[in-house]
Structure 1
């Protein structure tokens, strides 16, 4: 072979190898500039006896789901997943994201994982579950085997869906007010202290008569279209989703009922619901806890979902309109956490399994956070919309402030990411009293507000300017 021919052979080989490398990181069905979507849905309903939030599952009222989308673009894939669970925290949060990332051929930092926080749905935390197993309390509050099964079901759903991604040609952005659902849980007195907690249900005339307080009354929706076919709708609204709960009657609550009603109204379209910054927001003003109120609340949320869909603004979209931003963030640890006392409580057989599990959860968070563990706070910019993904039971003030930071954009927020920090309040709330800022609820320090507000501002204002 001549020198010239040999060089041409080497060039050919390099081209072939380069193609192989590109195929290894980019799906072969994705051309430059294209935006595609993979909707996925997995049934993660527990068997009877599996622990859900406050009791073993005694009845399955509705199935539970983990559903979402994978977005394929010129960037690495992005996964958005919402799970019918009270919370996914600590190592559970990490492992879920790692496994979903493998299925979508991306990195864990590009997976946004959120629970909807229903109170008759399971808790997921491998590390806390392991501590309970070591104390002979396996399956009391956490079931790691069930956790692994759930992850595998979602992985299988993503893997199957990746075989047939759908083209996205247009993005629809909608917004509608939700009437008579959300109200602030914390009613302040003249001294600026919490005088009354309104909770998720109330029969107190004073609590019912009091104003809604600080909430975000709007539901926002992001719809992905292939020409005239809506492929998937992401719905964002901030409220605790409880109507009544606590006996082990597994269900997806009124937000899930609204979501499923929209799925029936739009055959072939996947509706996904994400809970926003609802740490201090619930239905207490409008919900007396009776069984009749669950479908009524569901109907109110469903109407807002429909109106947001019907009045959406639809524009063409390409891969160039998608940008993902990540800020790894260490949250300040609450000073009330005492690792020695927590460890002693875990081993104390005179304590209830619930008390020992609570101590284990706190110890796991304390050890991770004290070691400098960072949580990904992320933002997906899509055309004129920005979707923020935050940890914990975040106060609604964070959501409202994020919208102020980028008033020219539609800003959606999903909270209840890593459940490890518990409630994330505003700084002033820690001096006002009330449940959310108490040592039993919040595992972060008051300076968390200054940390997160800066991160939120940086992320939501990071969208590239339109050419």
Structure 2
């Protein structure tokens, strides 16, 4: 070997040992205030007070040689249809990437705004505008979040290690659907309950683990933590007292205590809530928050770090869910226009028309996956059942799989095939625009993005 070849070989070996050959990975954290003022509509009433502020939080993940990836989660009920597209477009432009590499989710608290420009247009055309949506406020929040991203991007930090930890959450989540001897839903155990039968019934099928994915810089300090847990986040709600609920309270407490920015993504919680452990009293909100905060602490303490992965990939699968039989435009338009109907009935018709219009596109929504070496982050639309989250973990048994649901919420709930014959709230036409074939379609899309 001549001296030049020897020097080249030595340089390659040194590069490999030092990790210089691995792709550089950068991350930036951004945050914006998205709190409504008094009088602005939230999910079920106009805002009458601000108990605590709301935030949009996100990260821009920039693998070397790839366009940036944006993951964002907002303290709102749902973001749907045109609004989902608009938000992703704003963030994509600010990040210098494409909308298909942006995923926006909600924490789904029920005393927070609902964001759906498409539904508002249908309502306004029938004299019902401004009751559930304030488009000027919502658009301002989306733009403000994009501006926060743009300011954060130049401050991106290089990631040297990625960590994963998990902890079991005690006495928070329970399955909402309690079946009777005939296999039909006998009790829907909502976010709170004082019914002894609902409280005494088994916890049911849940995913009891809170999972944390952390990004670390070269000095050994954590940059940001992404947390995942599947439950509806409500303790009590409905009067317009804006707050981030027990999930947001725990996230904020962990952020303030540790100084480490925290994101919290709700998993596939369509049939999961705190009803077994929550009687709906104001005192229980803090109790539930403390239980979540304890799991956040433990998951971080249990974190195992690995060098920043060489394999970083973003996968996208189009999703076109089958429509329920009642999703017929003329019928829904008549229902929306019928002034003898109550507002909630007409509101449901407006939302269903918006989703029907969105389905004229070839692929109205997508399922996405981010692979970070042995860690997989799965992003889903709507309110899917916990079965989808558990199945995704089985598809990649050698990896750590974290699921974020509550992406585009135009279809609202997505049940399993058997659920549509069992009955219950989650498959009622007021909140579910799909049918029993949805499971096969969503499962196929999840499998597609979970491939190696």
What TM-score do the two structures reach when normalised by structure 2?
A: 0.93
* Cα distance change on mapping 1:241 and 1:343 into 2, 3 Å: same
Corresponding residue for 2:60? Answer: 70
Instruction: Establish whether residue 427 from structure 1 lines up as the match of residue 395 from structure 2.
Output: no
Q: 1:223, 1:232 within 8 Å by CA — same for their partners in 2?
A: yes
Instruction: Establish whether residue 323 from structure 1 lines up as the match of residue 307 from structure 2.
Output: no
Deviation at 1:60, TM superposition (A): 0.4
d(CA) in 2 for partners of 1:373 and 1:140? 30
1:319-378 per-position Cα deviation (integer Å, ceiling 9, x unaligned): x33111011121111112221121122223333443322211110101222553431110
Candidates 397, 412, 416, aligned match of 2:402: 412
Candidates 175, 178, 182, aligned match of 1:187: 178
d(CA) in 1 for partners of 2:387 and 2:427? 14
Residue 130 of structure 1: SS of its match in structure 2?
A: helix
d(CA) in 2 for partners of 1:371 and 1:235? 33
Q: 1:392, 1:415 within 8 Å by CA — same for their partners in 2?
A: yes
Q: 2:39, 2:46 within 8 Å by CA — same for their partners in 1?
A: yes
Corresponding residue for 1:229? Answer: 221
Corresponding residue for 2:99? Answer: 108
Instruction: Establish whether residue 251 from structure 1 lines up as the match of residue 266 from structure 2.
Output: no
d(CA) in 2 for partners of 1:160 and 1:399? 34
Residue 278 of structure 1: SS of its match in structure 2?
A: coil
**Alpha-carbon RMSD:** 1.3
Instruction: Establish whether residue 455 from structure 1 lines up as the match of residue 445 from structure 2.
Output: yes
d(CA) in 2 for partners of 1:40 and 1:371? 32
1:235-289 per-position Cα deviation (integer Å, ceiling 9, x unaligned): 000000000000000000000001001101211x210000000000000000000
Q: 2:348, 2:430 within 8 Å by CA — same for their partners in 1?
A: no
Corresponding residue for 2:27? Answer: 37
Instruction: Establish whether residue 388 from structure 1 lines up as the match of residue 388 from structure 2.
Output: no
Q: Which runs of 5+ in 1 are unaligned?
A: 1-30
Candidates 353, 359, 364, aligned match of 1:363: 353
Instruction: Establish whether residue 264 from structure 1 lines up as the match of residue 256 from structure 2.
Output: yes
Residue 359 of structure 2: SS of its match in structure 1?
A: helix
Candidates 47, 53, 63, aligned match of 2:43: 53
* Cα distance change on mapping 1:354 and 1:143 into 2, 3 Å: farther
What TM-score do the two structures reach when normalised by structure 1?
A: 0.90
What does 1:270-289 align with in structure 2 at a 5 Å threshold? 270-289=261-280
Instruction: Establish whether residue 238 from structure 1 lines up as the match of residue 230 from structure 2.
Output: yes
Residues matched between the structures, number: 430
Candidates 315, 325, 333, aligned match of 2:323: 333
What does 1:336-347 align with in structure 2 at a 5 Å threshold? 336-347=326-337
Q: Answer with 50-59 or 342-351: which moved more.
A: 342-351
Candidates 141, 144, 148, aligned match of 2:135: 144
Q: Which runs of 5+ in 2 are unaligned?
A: 1-20
